[in-house]
Amino acid sequence: MTATRRPTVDVDFSDPATYSEGIPHAAFADVRATEGLLWNPMPAAGSGGDEREGSEAGEGSDAGDDGFWAVTRHADIVSISRDTATFSSAAGHIQLYTIDDDALDARASMIDMDPPMHTRLRRLVSSAFTPKHVQGYLASIRTRAARLLDDYVEVGGGDWVEAVSKPLPIGVICDLMGVPESDHNYMIELTDHLVEGTSSRPLDPDAYGNTTELRLLPFNSPAAHGVNEYARHLGDKRRANPTDDLVSRLVHAEVDGEQLTDAEFARFFQLMIFAGNETTRSTMSHLGVAMAVFGQQFDRLRTDAALLDSATEEILRWASAIMYFRRTAMVDTEVAGTRIAKGDKVVMWYASANFDEEAFTDPQEFDVGRQTVPAHVAFGGGGAHFCLGASLARLEIKVLIEEYLARRVELVGPVGGLKRVSSNFVHGLERAEFTVQKLGR
């Protein structure tokens, strides 16, 4: 058993700069190949010259913020994810920097809760996200995807992120929530800024009329204030005139005989808009890259539609849109032979586990026919917090691939290189430009 914390790594997985060229595959592979877990020290939050000033929860409290255990192997992530009693989402924070208890309370949505409260809140919305229920959105997803692709093909390409991967998921999640089309661009703007809270380029604290201390806002971002205000406005409307959208359901829902407070509802809304949008967008951005770079793989799909489901899973794995989530140990415990003390941070690097050689054959290969057993962990390692929107995300991605194939075109590029989102949390692209080439008959 490894009794003490390991010394330092030569790469700091908490630093957004570590991801400037994408997922640091070589560094993760090194760590996976090393026995036990790796201790990743972190500089004090907000310390002078800290490159991570403005990185997610940059205003963390001092307690326990000297570092975290980096969990990089697939099997370890699966076992931690399924043990909510030992590894809490409610203690400390689910992102790298620990935040104070008042900030935790102010920010908490179901993703930062443990059972039984988590279970009660999840029950309010889970029926809207079952595979069967999300099929109800198929026609509108297809219409949206077809329209965006037609426009993209007509102008001969351009920035795929701006033209396709941004508008599609926000359109779908806004339809679900009941946000009118005229406000979709505003939601895109707000969620873009939320992610900037995880980068080294944060917004001014008073943006969007914010007067709340940033440490009390999700992602330390004033854009979260903008989302809250918007949620309140829409919630009021639906309270007065309910429709069949999710906002109407949430403002009238009861947990233990009580309705959600305004703040609880706003945090729910915030979670849905962020979780349903940025993640799917990032995956679709990488899908664009895969279409251009692995053209032959998409030719396989043209002749064998039965591979569409495995292709969708392969995109999710390869993109690994969310790079990590964190848990906090509630008791002294052990993972992979490494002793973990009560209160230690345990960070699950999905972006590593999805390329774990022990779990996947030739993990660096992009293979639309890959039989993913075990499954990738792009949606988390299973258990209570497994992505609520997994079926919806799968459907959106699959339909986008189908509509792309139906147009008999091929993306060429990326032209002029990719512009990546600067973040230690989201594996996203800001820009990915392609040209469109017609395929011969």
Interface residues with ligand HEM (CB under 6 A)?
81, 110-111, 122, 173, 271-272, 275-276, 279-280, 283, 316, 321-322, 325, 350, 378-381, 385-389, 392-393
Residue 94 CB contacts under 8 Å (≥ 6 apart), including other chains: 111, 112, 325, 326, 327
In our burial notation (b when 16+ CB lie closer than 10 A, e otherwise), range 162-195 reads ebbbbbbbbbbbbbbbbbeeeebeebbebbbbbb
Cβ distance to ligand HEM smaller for residue 272 or 421: 272
Cβ distance to ligand HEM smaller for residue 97 or 425: 425
Cβ distance to ligand HEM smaller for residue 336 or 377: 377
Cβ distance to ligand HEM smaller for residue 75 or 415: 75
CB of 27 to ligand HEM, least distance (A): 20
Q: Are strands 333-335 and 338-340 parallel, antiparallel or unpaired?
A: antiparallel
CB of 40 to ligand HEM, least distance (A): 19
Q: Is 329 helix (H, G, I), strand (E, B) or coil?
A: strand
Q: Is 83 helix (H, G, I), strand (E, B) or coil?
A: coil
CB of 109 to ligand HEM, least distance (A): 8
Cβ distance to ligand HEM smaller for residue 81 or 210: 81
Cβ distance to ligand HEM smaller for residue 307 or 388: 388
Give the integer Cα–Cα distance in Å for 160 and 149. 10
Give the integer Cα–Cα distance in Å for 326 and 378. 14
What amino acid is encoded at 230 in this protein?
Answer: Y
CB of 340 to ligand HEM, least distance (A): 18
CB of 153 to ligand HEM, least distance (A): 24
Distance of CA 97 to the CA centre of its chain: 17
Give the integer Cα–Cα distance in Å for 371 and 360. 9
> Torsions phi, psi of 131, nearest 5?
-55, -40
Give the integer Cα–Cα distance in Å for 318 and 377. 11
Cβ distance to ligand HEM smaller for residue 166 or 385: 385
Nearest-CB residue for ligand HEM: 389
Cβ distance to ligand HEM smaller for residue 210 or 424: 424
CB of 289 to ligand HEM, least distance (A): 15
CB of 435 to ligand HEM, least distance (A): 26
CB of 267 to ligand HEM, least distance (A): 11
Angle CA 161–133–114, to nearest 5: 80
Give the integer Cα–Cα distance in Å for 10 and 367. 31
Cβ distance to ligand HEM smaller for residue 65 or 112: 112
CB of 3 to ligand HEM, least distance (A): 29
CB 322 within 8 A of CB 350: yes
List strand residue ranges (DSSP E) for 126-272, in order.
157-159, 254-255, 258-259
CB 23 within 8 A of CB 427: yes
β-partners of residue 436 are 411
